Amino acid sequence: MNEKSQQLTNRIAVLRAERKMTQKDLAEKAGVSRQTILSLENKKYSPSLVLAFKIAKVLDVAITQVFQYKEESK
Amino acid sequence: MNEKSQQLTNRIAVLRAERKMTQKDLAEKAGVSRQTILSLENKKYSPSLVLAFKIAKVLDVAITQVFQYKEESK
DNA sequence: CATTAATGTAATGAAAACTTTACTTTGTGT
DNA sequence: ACACAAAGTAAAGTTTTCATTACATTAATG
């Protein structure tokens, strides 16, 4: 809906499903609320760098494997 | 001083100096205020993932080259 | 079909990021 | 020493992340 949400995409749901983890599982392991994971997957607000690192760590991949950034053409 | 500030470190100042850029230069190219760059370099608060990507882009290195995350031993 | 797990929606509030402005200190060069 | 650029300090205000709680909907399974 807004422009900002489209410059950052993530594959959290996919990677999570591959590992057969629920949102709750991932949230607990990352030390955040389930709402936070859900919001990232769906509403896709931009997480903090620390949270991004934590999620990548739990999913056992590089941060860039989870999050892709496309700068917009101004 | 607080625990959180120590789990995330960055090499912004070093990389910036190598490229002979001022804080103002980097701020403008990244599209943020100079205060934000200064705060990241010194007070080291944790940036958003998008900002981290922008800074890495301007410095022309991978995000992990700029920011290092060390999880703490609970 | 009934039960439970998983996901989604929504609202409120706290905390942190980031902006803006203004001023001070430190460096650098002439 | 002077001037100017760069870096630092500080404070107030806005925006966004993230937590918390509660409830609704959608799988999945017996």
Strand C footprint nucleotides (protein C-beta < 7 Å)? 5-11, 16-22
Question: What's the length of chain B?
Answer: 74
In this predicted structure, the answer to whether residue B72 has a pLDDT above a threshold of 80 is no
Query: The pTM is what?
Result: 0.91
Spatial CA neighbour of B68 closest among B24, B2, B8? B8
Nearest-angstrom CA–CA distance, B17 and A23: 42
Q: Tell the CATH topology of B4-68.
A: 434 Repressor (Amino-terminal Domain) (1.10.260)
Nearest-angstrom CA–CA distance, B3 and B12: 20
Residue scoring higher pLDDT (B17 or A1): B17
| Cβ atoms within 10 Å, residue A20 | 7
Interface of A with B (CB under 8 A): 4, 7-8, 46-54, 57, 62-64, 67, 69, 71
Q: Which nucleotide is nearest to A36 (CA to C1')?
A: D18
pLDDT at res. A74: 36
